[in-house]
Amino acid sequence: MDLILYRRSDLIHPPNIPPQGGKGKCIIRIVCIIASMTLLMLGCNPSSRTSGNAAEDQSIDADSTLQKDFWVAYTYPERRGKVLYEQYCSNCHGVEGGGDGLNAYTLDPRPRRLADSVFVSVLYDSLLSRSIAVGGRGIGRSVLMPAYTHTLKVEEISFIVDYIRTLSSKQP
């Protein structure tokens, strides 16, 4: 049923209303309106802005160079480990792990090159953290490496191990 508004003037001069198509057309029009409403409801989804990008934004690019943003290149444990490494380890093992710290040339045997990826890759995490904790004497090597178990907490040692892994994997 179409609703047609009549104005007084129309009654005197009736408007040119096109002939209606009958009851079938009426139903089709209603169905079309409801179908379009349905599609609109389905389409209007406010979360469709960036739903797919969540994982991408949060993922850490493992190949990022050090020139790239420091905050993206290193995870939280690696950042904490960097601070600790530079305070306790870099004087002998070098700031970039090259075994060339300020103190290194006075030591015999020389400190290990932690940037050497071949050497570090065969050391599993528990061995690295044990070396730091009990020192060289505890793993049967030079006494020049001190034992840090009474100085550093367990999680601090794990941060340092995480950072040492980056020394051999991230290229400057």
One-letter identity of residue 133 = A
Q: Closest by alpha carbon to 167, among 105, 101, 99, 116? A: 116
144 binds another protein (CB under 8 A): yes
One-letter identity of residue 138 = G
CA pair distance 63, 73, nearest whole angstrom: 8
16 binds another protein (CB under 8 A): no
36 binds another protein (CB under 8 A): no
31 binds another protein (CB under 8 A): yes
Cβ proximity to another protein: between 102 and 127 the closer is: 102
CA pair distance 93, 91, nearest whole angstrom: 6
What's CA 39's distance to the chain center, in Å?
A: 36
DSSP code, position 79? H
135 binds another protein (CB under 8 A): yes
Site string for another protein, 115-134 (x = CB under 8 A): --------------------
CA pair distance 29, 11, nearest whole angstrom: 28
- Binding segment toward another protein, per CB under 8 A, in 12-20, 112-120, 147-155, 163-171: 147-155
Binding residues for another protein, rule: CB under 8 A, are 1, 23, 26-27, 30-31, 34, 37-38, 41-42, 45-47, 49-51, 53-55, 57-60, 70-72, 75-77, 80, 83, 87-88, 91-92, 102-103, 106-107, 135-137, 142-151, 155, 158-159
